[in-house]
Structure 1
Amino acid sequence: MKLKNNIFKIFIFIILGVLVGCGQTKEKRFSQERFLFGTYIQMIVYSENESKANDAMEKAFKEIERIDNKYNSKNENSIIYKLNKSKNKEIDLDEEGIYIFKEIEKMYKVTDGVYDITIGPLLDLWGFGTEERTEVPTLNELKEVMKKIDFSKVEIRSNKFIINGEEKIDTGSFLKGYALEKAKQVLITNNIKSGFISSVSSIVTIGTKSDGTPWRVGVQDPKNPENRLGVVEIQNRAMGVSGDYQTYIEIKGKKYHHIMNKFTGYPIEDKKMVVVICDSGFMADIYSTSFFGMSDDKILEFCEKNNVEVLIVKKDDSLLKTKNFKI
């Protein structure tokens, strides 16, 4: 079995797809990048002052690190890692933690349980953790693991976060988007009026480019990720992307991607990619994962009610999108 993650390739592609320019303004373009959350994160800001621009980006990266250290289920220092390893399965949450997991709880209910952050044991069984597999999981293995996937056993009572079972929390589907959204707020607080943060599958923007034109992002073709399906223009909004080509394993020459159907135990097969544009990087991450497992009708209905733009590449490479999604 081979585990493949196209992080670096995708990162380069998306960043090259961002067409920037400063026109005749006095502001200059500054950028930094760091390796956090297991991927490259790049910030681009426009400012008249290099020192202030770099100071703002430094503070924004520190905010991303703070969230990684506090909540990332794969970070041994985080409260979620400790929750997953503890015997009593209970921790105290502050105001931020309550907000995060209340939003997760809402989406779990909206999707009728499709979006479930206790999916970790299933990912581990397939070999997306540390243990490699040479065979597809058996039905018995899947049945046993699926008994441990149920967000309804998670309870948020006052400031208590309680797991009433063997479930474990996996933050991979939402925390990076949340971290980027918080980093965006740090940049805004530090007087950045034009900015762009990308972590491959999650993008947030502040305003437009300094010349007043929208940020332009290249969207990959899931059939051939080296190619571009098109270009999307964004201003002051966020984008989340989930695709079957991003992270996958190979078992006996067949690819199995990491976006799982918790009811069957197998990767979801009717979609290749979901691209979401909305007001929040946090929600864009949640939506792109959630929509992968939802019916087309329910997705379009939800998007219409919640000012969300979506593009879906189906299994047969046909496209489904909301009217307001321009590519």
Structure 2
Amino acid sequence: MSQTASKLYISQTRELYHCHIKIKIPMEYGEELLEDCFALLEVIDKTYNSYQEGSYFHNINAEAGNWVNTDQPTIEMISLSKKISEIMHGTYDITSMPLIRLWGFYQENNTAIPEAEDIRKTLAQVDYEKIKIHENKVKIEANQEIITGSFIKSYAVDCVVEKLKAAGVTDAIINAGGITIYALNDESHPQWHVNIPHYSDNKETLSRIALSNSCFSLSARKSNYIEIDGKQYGHILNAKTGLPSANLQVGVLSPTTFIGDMLSTALFAHTANAFAINASNLRHHFDFQAYLIDENAHFQHLDFNLFES
């Protein structure tokens, strides 16, 4: 329990979605609401996470080549991901799981970069346009596999935000692993402040920003990478080249975590020289601010300047 501006809060932290998720609310709402929020996170994990056996996305993958009955949230998640993929010309693609496996992100002691021919063959399995939707049914090609990592945690956080609002909560913060953070505010607590980690130094903070009824989403190489011959290769891959993105960090401010998480991944996946045009194209469809730090630690931004005084 902590106190901010003479206001008492309670919080809980649990490990879900491969990270620690902390929910903090005013004490008056009680521990039962926190328990209900984490129960909701667990239900969403079991229902939609591609890593969870029996989930809709797991079933789509297990039945690749066949139509699978799903539900409306699954259709909406896939449809939005396909829209972003189209805007990004396929560099962001939720069917990239075969590439991720090829690069060894789920293997221990990976010591070799994939051969160019293996990358070329695997790229043939990656194509968001081959995800077919008919009413509430979904079908992918027989050799395809969807990964929900770029959006399922953030979708769950948005659901918790809606639950808190329905319970009358107007002041709370949800921190999912330090890379997806939503702040709910009212006049009694006009802003929350969060630290943005440095792109390379674990002991340093890059900046500190204020959040108010919005989300900060972070994609960063140092949060998940493999090391081969002394060089780091990040887990976010460019689905057109089959290669790990060389960027260091992308941050997005957005009204919802679901949009922010996908946009930060999509902008990270593409080359840095296309950041301005890609961000501008995405802005035609989504409300957000963003910055990018490329492999040379050069900074670009769309209305989001980390270094303003």
Any gaps of 5 or more consecutive residues in structure 1?
1-19
Q: Determine the structure 1 residue equivalent to 2:248.
A: 272
Q: Is the aligned partner of 1:90 residue 2:72? A: no
**Structure 1: distance between partners of 2:11 and 2:123:** 44
Name the SS of the counterpart of 1:31 in structure 2: strand
**1:221 Cα shift?**
1.2
Q: Determine the structure 2 residue equivalent to 1:146.
A: 123
Q: CA RMSD in A?
A: 1.9
Give aligned pairs, total: 301
Q: Is the aligned partner of 1:297 residue 2:279? A: no
Deviation beyond 6 Å, 4+ runs, structure 1: none
**Structure 2: distance between partners of 1:184 and 1:318:** 34
**Structure 2: distance between partners of 1:74 and 1:57:** 25
Name the SS of the counterpart of 2:278 in structure 1: helix
**Structure 2: distance between partners of 1:150 and 1:88:** 14
Deviations 1:78-132 (A, max 9, x none): 1211221225432112222222111112111111112100000111111112465
Matches within 5 A, 1:160-179: 160-179=137-156
Contact 1:204-1:236 within 8 A present in 2 as well? yes
**Structure 1: distance between partners of 2:304 and 2:57:** 37
Give 2:181's match in structure 1, choosing from 203, 208, 218: 203
1:220/1:161 CA distance change after superposition, 3 Å: same
**Structure 1: distance between partners of 2:176 and 2:46:** 17
Give 1:213's match in structure 2, choosing from 190, 193, 204: 190
**Structure 1: distance between partners of 2:245 and 2:86:** 19
Name the SS of the counterpart of 2:233 in structure 1: strand
Deviations 1:41-93 (A, max 9, x none): 0011124x2xx331222111111111110111111131211221225432112
Q: Is the aligned partner of 1:159 residue 2:139? A: no
**1:309 Cα shift?**
1.0
Name the SS of the counterpart of 2:129 in structure 1: helix
Q: Is the aligned partner of 1:71 residue 2:48? A: yes
**Structure 2: distance between partners of 1:112 and 1:256:** 22
Q: Is the aligned partner of 1:233 residue 2:200? A: no
Q: Determine the structure 2 residue equivalent to 1:288.
A: 264
Deviations 1:125-146 (A, max 9, x none): 1111246522111112111211
Letter in 2 for 1:277: L
Matches within 5 A, 1:51-130: 52-86=29-63, 88-130=65-107
Contact 1:43-1:57 within 8 A present in 2 as well? yes
**1:297 Cα shift?**
2.0
**1:211 Cα shift?**
4.3
Letter in 2 for 1:101: I
1:53/1:89 CA distance change after superposition, 3 Å: farther
**Structure 2: distance between partners of 1:300 and 1:79:** 31
Matches within 5 A, 1:286-325: 286-294=262-270, 295-302=274-281, 304-305=283-284, 306-325=286-305
Q: Determine the structure 1 residue equivalent to 2:21.
A: 41
1:110/1:42 CA distance change after superposition, 3 Å: same
**Structure 2: distance between partners of 1:325 and 1:161:** 40
**Structure 1: distance between partners of 2:182 and 2:222:** 22
**Structure 2: distance between partners of 1:304 and 1:266:** 26
Name the SS of the counterpart of 1:103 in structure 2: helix
**1:296 Cα shift?**
1.7
**1:325 Cα shift?**
4.3
Give 2:158's match in structure 1, choosing from 174, 181, 201: 181
**1:22 Cα shift?**
2.5
Contact 1:22-1:211 within 8 A present in 2 as well? no
Letter in 1 for 2:280: E
Contact 1:53-1:192 within 8 A present in 2 as well? no
Deviations 1:156-215 (A, max 9, x none): 11111111342111000111111111111111111211011111211112115x742311
1:304/1:126 CA distance change after superposition, 3 Å: closer
**Structure 2: distance between partners of 1:319 and 1:129:** 31
Deviations 1:12-55 (A, max 9, x none): xxxxxxxx85324xx411100111011110011124x2xx3312
**Structure 2: distance between partners of 1:58 and 1:193:** 18
**Structure 1: distance between partners of 2:46 and 2:140:** 21
Contact 1:214-1:234 within 8 A present in 2 as well? yes
Any gaps of 5 or more consecutive residues in structure 2?
none
